[in-house]
Amino acid sequence: MLDALERILERVEEPDDALRAAVAALADEPGVSWAGIAFLDQGALVLGPAAGEPDDAQRTRVPIEFQGSRVGELWVDGAVDTWVLARFADRLSGHVLIGWDTRGETWDP
């Protein structure tokens, strides 16, 4: 799972495209029926890219943090290893920024 994510992040430049490809790859994992990324936008979680068939009863939520601040959550339905999901979320964190003020600096995840 983490290897697949690394390959996606190496070949896909646009953050939105990388997030869509990442949740699609995660939803294709054995035992996973659905995956999505919720962005923290003005204090509320807003679902962004998602793939698969949702099963709320089996949902695992993992926080996504960037530089010590929560920026979203990775939501996954199915049998998952939370440690692996935490690593997955950590690796995606720079792509999950919404409304961050870069103070005019170029941002490269």
Answer whether residue 100 is part of any domain: no
User: Which pLDDT belongs to residue 17?
Assistant: 87
Count of domains forming the chain: 1
Q: Which CATH number belongs to the domain containing residue 84 in this structure? A: 3.30.450.40
Tens digits of residue pLDDT in 23-57: 999 999 999 999 999 998 888 999 999 999 999 99
Answer whether residue 29 is part of any domain: yes
Q: Does 79 score more than 50 pLDDT? A: yes
Q: ∠ CA(52), CA(43), CA(101), 5° rounding? A: 100
SS (H, E, C) 10-59: HHCCCHHHHHHHHHHHHHCCCCEEEEEEEEEECCEEEEEEEEECCCHHHE
Answer whether residue 108 is part of any domain: no
CA 17: distance to chain centroid?
Answer: 12
**What one-letter code names the amino acid at 77?**
D
Alpha-carbon distance of 43 to 13, in angstroms, equals 28
Answer whether residue 42 is part of any domain: yes
Q: How far is CA 98 from CA 5, 16, 40, 49, 70, in A?
A: 21, 11, 7, 13, 11
Task: Identify the domain containing residue 64 by its residue range.
Answer: 2-95
Answer whether residue 103 is part of any domain: no
pTM above 0.85, yes or no: no
